[in-house]
Structure 1
Amino acid sequence: MTPGGTGPELAIHEIDPGDAVTGPALLALQRASYAVEAELIAFPDLPLLTESLEQLRASTATFLGALDGDRLVGAVSWFRLDDGTVDIDRLVVDPAHHRRGIASALLDALAGWAPTHRTVVATGSANGPALALYVRHGFVSCGEREVADGVRVTDLERGAAPGG
């Protein structure tokens, strides 16, 4: 896949946040991505926005990274719950690469990488672009909750991905 029809092929593969090069690149990508969400949902205290490199490296989540050439431009991480459900922990895309299909490519890759009967994710209720992305990928809202004063999160889920 070539996001936006330009540049080198997008390569998606498992990445290790503990790697000396990957960890800092992932942390910078995450901070840039969550800065956009923090603005969209008017909540500058997003926990993953302030995560340290040590905290990121200590994560027990599995990570897939999207590379455009040798540049990390997106990532998704998840946990497999006891019942087999895939719980998406984070989905981040470099803001300079938004609207190029990277988040969709990561969700598609995740469905193939970690087939499951159910996938869950949560995002800020005021994050219209993220909500639209998840709906396009078959997720449906299964609830909303307040996580801070005036800040709401929408929980979404989908069954097995087509072909999965």
Structure 2
Amino acid sequence: MSERVEAGPAIRTAVAADLPALQRVYREASLSNAGDAPVLLARPEFLVFAGDGIAAGRTLVALDGPPDEGRIVGFATVATGDDGGLELEDLFVDPERRRRGIARHLVRAVAGAARADGHRRLWVTGNPHALAFYLAAGFVQIEGQVSTELGSGLRMSLDLSRA
């Protein structure tokens, strides 16, 4: 019996030169959800991706080609949470490239790195519009809705021993 190997995007650690592409993906992905766009347009400061995790090596990028040449089509950033746990801070995919497994591959890469660093859980405060994705990726909802600066979010956790 042969195992099916799923091809995915090339994933690498972001570098400073990636910032303009990350800002493009961030803005386009953020505004692509009709339910979020009005709130974001009223608060344009939330449409600016500063890239704080790049220099620290906390941001991974997904590319549509080889790591040296491909176009950035998504990214994920992790941070240490207030409780010392690992937090999935950003997960964005170019709206034109959605539903092709890019976000799932980014979550797997983040989870693998977190597991290798000794973390047992990966936390996220997810957008309610992304609930189905997070559940399919193995996250479980821990609490009901939590308050964020832009409204409500869902507090979720991924058990890294199972991911």
Same fold (TM over 0.5): yes
User: Displacement of 1:58 after TM fit?
Assistant: 7.1
1:48-87 equivalence runs, <5 A: 49-51=46-48, 55-57=50-52, 62-69=58-65, 70-81=70-81, 85-87=85-87
Asked if the contact 1:61–1:79 (Cα under 8 Å) also holds between the matched residues in 2, the reply is: no
Alpha-carbon offset, residue 138 of structure 1: 1.7
Q: Which whole-Å CA distance do the structure 1 matches of 2:124 and 2:47 have between them? A: 20
The corresponding residue for 1:124 is 127
- Equivalent position of 1:11 in the other structure: 10
Which residue number in structure 2 is paired with residue 99 of structure 1? 99
Listed one character per residue, the Cα deviations across residues 118-153 of structure 1 (whole Å, up to 9, x for unaligned) are 11111222x0xx21111112211122124368x321
Residues 31 and 49, structure 1, Cα contact 8 Å, conserved in 2: no
Query: In 1, are the aligned partners of 2:11 and 2:106 still within 8 Å (CA)?
Result: yes
2:31 paired residue number: 35
Change (3 A) 1:112 1:97: same
Is the CA contact (8 Å cut-off) linking 1:35 and 1:44 kept in structure 2?
no
Q: Indicate conservation of the 8 Å contact 1:34/1:49, yes or no.
A: no
What is the RMSD of the two structures over their aligned residues, measured on CA atoms? 2.6
Amino acid at match of 2:114: A
Contact 1:30/1:49 (8 A) holds in 2: no
The gaps in structure 1 that reach 5 residues or longer are: 4-9
Which whole-Å deviations, capped at 9, do the CAs of 1:76-120 have from their partners, x for residues lacking one? 000134765210111000000010000001011111122121111
Secondary structure of the 1:138 match is coil
Structure 1 Cα separation of the partners of residues 22 and 149 of structure 2 = 26
CA distance in 2, matches of 1:50, 1:100: 24
Counterpart of 1:6 in structure 2 is none
Q: State the 1:44 CA deviation.
A: 2.6
Distance 1:51 1:61 in 2: 19
Query: Does the CA contact (< 8 Å) of 1:14 and 1:64 recur in 2?
Result: yes
The 1:91/1:58 distance shift into structure 2, 3 A limit, reads: closer
Q: Is the 8 A contact 1:11 1:67 kept in 2?
A: yes
Q: Secondary structure at the match of 1:56?
A: coil
3-state SS of 1:88 partner: strand
Q: CA separation in 2, counterparts of 1:89 and 1:57?
A: 11
**Count of aligned pairs between the two proteins:** 147
Provide the C-alpha distance between the structure 2 equivalents of 1:35 and 1:29, rounded to a whole number of angstroms. Answer: 10
